[in-house]
Structure 1
Amino acid sequence: MKAKKNGIVISAVILLLTSLCLYFFMNNRIDFKEVAEGQLLPNRNYTYYCDLKSEIDMEDLYELSSEFSGYDYDFDGHTYIVTFGYELEDISYSRASRPIVSEYGYYNYHVPNVWLSCDKTDKCYVYELPKVNIGCDADNYKRKVYFVEK
């Protein structure tokens, strides 16, 4: 009887650990849609992408193109990703993808896996995502950025 009880306890612990691993390490795909597109300014260096979480973040984007101000941005219900020179093909994150400490302090968001089209353009694209706590790594903007064929 004791062996049966130990087997049930061990099975429950293994099931719990497996569930926790899946919860933290499973990739969660994020749905997105393109909401704006604008021309990049010449002779500037751009990162691959950045995130927009408030109207304050939009001020820098408005300087890039007047075309971005035509969309009604909803920062309460959405997160926005801006790509520079590449179209967004896919985006996902896992709960284990959070950087813990950087040279500038603690980041309280997930660094997503970002798949960009390998065809370079001279455009800037804005994508709307459901509200999710993601952002690019300020210390390494190439982190988790992948290029794919269209």
Structure 2
Amino acid sequence: MDSPAIVESVLHTVERITARTGTSFDRFVERFEIAVPPRRIGNLDTAAEEGDRAAEYIDAATPSSFRVFSTPRAVSWLFGNAGIAGLVVAADARALLYAPMRLAAYDHGDREATIAVERPSDGFNSLERPETIAIGRQLDAKLADLLDALGVPAAAELLRASPHNGHSTP
């Protein structure tokens, strides 16, 4: 006999961070795709099985420790670290809602790129599990490092205390 269906609704807030990059749109896209190469490597099943080894491989194989999971469409990327994604999905399959991360880059018509990204920990915190919360904070720091390396002044905003993510600036 089938058990009755259970539906849960969780309301959570996600903070979107927007920053002018101080560089041209074309140059930002070029720099982002050097730091986060637009190639597929591995899959989440393999990453979950290999755990830390997959994360270490990606860290060593890329300048930023991230890889794009799919070919970029226009100026929006789905990206992340397959090793970390495997760990968080192993902890809670609902984490697939927040991994991979998304980043959009756009031009306001003045030829300067602007980016928009959601704070990773806000989504992972909504799962209310210590493992996903810790990984969300780790991704906040990794994303801040990536943006800092790209010259985008958003790292402090990603790491600042948020009423939504419950963590404070390290």
Give the TM-score category using the shorter length. under 0.3
> Which structure has the bigger radius of gyration?
1
Structure number with the higher helix fraction is 2
Normalized against structure 2, the TM-score is what?
A: 0.24
Normalized against structure 1, the TM-score is what?
A: 0.26
Of structures 1 and 2, the one scoring higher in RCO (CA 8 A, sep 6+) is: 1
Structure number with the higher strand fraction is 1
